[in-house]
Amino acid sequence: MTAPQTVHRQVAALCTRKPGGKREVLLITSRDTGRWVLPKGWPMSDRSAADAALQEAWEEAGVREARIRPQPIGTYDYAKRLDDGGSIPVRVEVFLARVDKTARDFPEADQRKRRWVRPGEAAKMVDEPGLKALLRDL
């Protein structure tokens, strides 16, 4: 009998805006596989989970100004690929962020693509079933 594998925790920002009154969400590509994902990362000891998610949104997607809810709107699970070819189970807490301003230049601008899309289209673009459900529920 093998010991259960530890589920690691990440935080993500589900960034939204409403141009013309129609909600859009911001997706970015992952650096390793080019999959469409939310900006996300590991919790930070000096920040709340929501603030850590917002920091990731800046570094990975160029979100300059946003209002983020302090409580998660949901979670989803995925297998994070590691540099050695293995993977670890991760549960992602998702925080809703209303974006007021984005920047053209940001830390990972040359490593990722970003795209604003309607929630239904975003749900079709991502791989994780739990994230698809969160996007469809917006």
What average pLDDT does range 95-120 have in this prediction?
97
What the chain holds in terms of domains, given with CATH numbers, is: 8-136 (3.90.79.10)
Q: What is the pLDDT at residue 81? A: 86
Across all residues in the chain, what is the average pLDDT?
95
CB count in 10 Å sphere of residue 85: 6
Q: What is the pLDDT at residue 112? A: 97
Over 70: is that where the pLDDT of 2 sits?
no
Residue 65 host element (H or E): strand 63-68
Q: What is the pLDDT of residues 81-93, one digit of tens each?
A: 888 989 999 999 9
Q: Which two tokens stand for residue 61?
A: 């997607």
Contact 31, 64 (CB under 8 A): no
Q: What is the pLDDT of residues 31-58, one digit of tens each?
A: 988 999 999 999 999 999 999 999 999 9
3 band by pLDDT with thresholds 50, 70 and 90: low
Q: Which two tokens stand for residue 105?
A: 């230049």
Q: Pick the residue with more confidence: 5 or 65?
A: 65
Residue 120 host element (H or E): helix 119-125
1 band by pLDDT with thresholds 50, 70 and 90: low
Q: Which residue has the tokens 């929630």?
A: 119
How much is the pTM? Answer: 0.93
